[in-house]
């Protein structure tokens, strides 16, 4: 009823006035107040939900997946994604190598960073071998191989260890001069991690703390993947699948894998005694989690209901990995333009592997981008990935070239030709305009 909806909205906004409204994570004293709130998320959490048509409206679940895979695979073939993927890994590697020298570590920094904690279930991972890691880091490494290394680094926290050791020496200038980090942000994050460890109630470590340097900001929707702090106490949007993750059904020669597996991927996935092609052991996010129907609060629809209203594909909940990667970009002091390119790379990396959906990746990225680059909750959610040309390090990446590549995959491939007529007429018109097909 209208009266019921008005009461729910009144209760929602009343709850917002009870607690301190935190304008930004930078000034939030999470030891003494709740910072992981509903009202500080980007995009905003409102009692009403958007019901605008999107590019995925009117498509079946299978067709939504086909559409997203076509877009993701197209983006993998763009110069923008190839550039940012390589440079991002270079910057991380250079920082780790420089940091390892300062703390006089005798261990191989590449093996410490990228060879510790990964296994055959990590899509694209080439194994804990120096030659394979060097390949992945080179220009020849594909996007799966490169970001599999980043994923392993996020999980093993070696970058955190190096930074913590250097700060303990008191040689703070080294963080900037040699590791080329954003010292101000690194020290801010480091203090947050230490406050979480030493001053915060342990039960709030993940719900209202910053447990590690790469952890998502309080503004990120990835926080909704986990339970909320009191008094909100929302239930996490996803739960582990019963029995744990399941392996992909793909084989090493599957035609749906773009680019095909490299020699190093094949060597790590397929045992020498196994005949080729072999069944892959990858764990996609789609087969690790169930996204559940749960509200953010009384009268406040949750993630699944909001995605459903927009008819967006759901895979594994708002992307924490996207937030982690963009948080590393902040630690590295990368420019806003590089952050924009990294968001495109996240779509190119995780959408074709069924680790996250397009909507989930943009939700994980929104709080790290300027307001004019965030989700619109409509057709233009795709176009905001690169609405203008982007120049970094003196090199310009042209938006029309990126969208022309996407257009080739959507309008010139057999899958795309079958798919496009199933979309809303307005969606077809939007894509034709975006990709310069009309």
Q: Is residue 32 part of a domain?
A: no
Q: Which of 351, 121, 345, 352 is nearest to 254 (CA)?
A: 352
Q: Which of 77, 66, 116, 67 is nearest to 96 (CA)?
A: 116
Provide the domain count of the chain: 1
Q: Which residue range is the domain that position 167 belongs to?
A: 61-242+287-434
**pLDDT for res 25:** 52
Neighbouring-strand partners of residue 390: 397
Place of tokens 């990294």: 342
- Contact between 117 and 155 under an 8 Å Cβ cutoff? The reply is yes
**pLDDT for res 35:** 94
Q: Is residue 409 part of a domain?
A: yes
Largest Cα span, the chain: 68
DSSP 8-state code for residue 45: P
Place of tokens 């909940």: 317
Q: Is residue 253 part of a domain?
A: no
Radius of gyration of the chain (CA): 22
**pLDDT for res 271:** 81
Please list the ranges in the chain whose pLDDT falls under 50.
Answer: 1-24
Distance in angstroms (rounded) separating the CA atoms of residues 306 and 358? 14
Task: Output b/e per residue, 37-72; b: 16+ Cβ within 10 A.
Answer: bbbbbbbebebebeeeebbbbebeeebbbbbbbbbb
At 158, give phi and psi (nearest 5°).
-65, -35
Q: Is residue 412 part of a domain?
A: yes
Burial class (CB in 10 A: 0-12, 13-18, 19+), 437: middle
Q: Is residue 230 part of a domain?
A: yes
Q: Which of 58, 17, 47 is nearest to 301 (CA)?
A: 47
Q: Is residue 23 part of a domain?
A: no
pTM above 0.75, yes or no: yes
């Amino acid at each position: 009823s209208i009266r019921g909806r008005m009461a729910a909205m009144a209760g929602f906004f009343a709850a917002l006035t009870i607690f301190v409204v935190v304008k930004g994570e930078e000034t939030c004293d999470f030891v003494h107040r709740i910072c992981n709130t509903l009202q500080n998320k980007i995009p905003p959490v409102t009692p009403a939900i958007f019901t605008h048509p999107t590019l995925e409206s009117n498509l079946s679940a299978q067709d939504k997946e086909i559409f997203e895979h076509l877009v993701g695979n197209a983006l993998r073939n763009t110069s923008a994604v190839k550039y940012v993927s390589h440079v991002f890994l270079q910057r991380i590697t250079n920082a780790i190598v420089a940091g390892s020298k300062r703390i006089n570590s005798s261990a191989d920094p590449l093996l410490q960073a990228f060879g510790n904690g990964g296994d055959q279930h990590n899509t694209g991972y080439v194994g804990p071998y120096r030659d394979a890691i060097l390949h992945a880091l080179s220009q020849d490494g594909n996007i799966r191989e490169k970001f599999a290394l980043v994923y392993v680094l996020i999980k093993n926290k070696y970058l955190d260890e190096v930074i913590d050791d250097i700060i303990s020496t008191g040689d703070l200038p080294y963080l900037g001069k040699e590791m080329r980090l954003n010292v101000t942000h690194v020290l801010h994050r480091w203090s947050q991690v230490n406050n979480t460890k030493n001053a915060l109630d342990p039960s709030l470590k993940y719900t209202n703390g910053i447990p590690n340097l790469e952890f998502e900001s309080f503004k990120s929707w990835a926080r909704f993947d986990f339970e909320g702090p009191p008094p909100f106490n929302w239930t996490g949007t996803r739960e582990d699948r019963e029995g744990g993750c399941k392996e992909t059904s793909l084989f090493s020669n599957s035609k749906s894998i773009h680019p095909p597996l490299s020699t190093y991927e094949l060597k790590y996935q397929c045992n020498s005694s196994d005949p080729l092609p072999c069944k892959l052991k990858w764990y996609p996010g789609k087969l690790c989690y169930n996204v559940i129907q749960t509200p953010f609060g009384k009268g406040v629809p949750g993630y699944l209901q909001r995605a459903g209203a927009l008819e967006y594909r759901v895979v594994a909940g708002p992307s924490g990995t996207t937030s982690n990667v963009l948080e590393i970009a902040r630690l590295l002091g990368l420019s806003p333009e590089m952050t924009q390119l990294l968001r495109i790379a996240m779509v190119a990396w995780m959408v074709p592997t069924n680790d996250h959906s397009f909507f989930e990746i943009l939700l994980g990225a929104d709080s790290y981008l300027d307001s004019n680059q965030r989700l619109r909750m409509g057709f233009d959610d795709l176009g905001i990935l690169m609405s203008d040309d982007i120049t970094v390090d003196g090199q310009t990446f042209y938006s029309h070239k990126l969208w022309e590549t996407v257009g080739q995959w959507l309008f010139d491939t057999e899958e795309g030709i079958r798919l496009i007529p199933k979309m809303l007429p307005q969606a077809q018109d939007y894509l034709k305009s975006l990709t310069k097909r009309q």
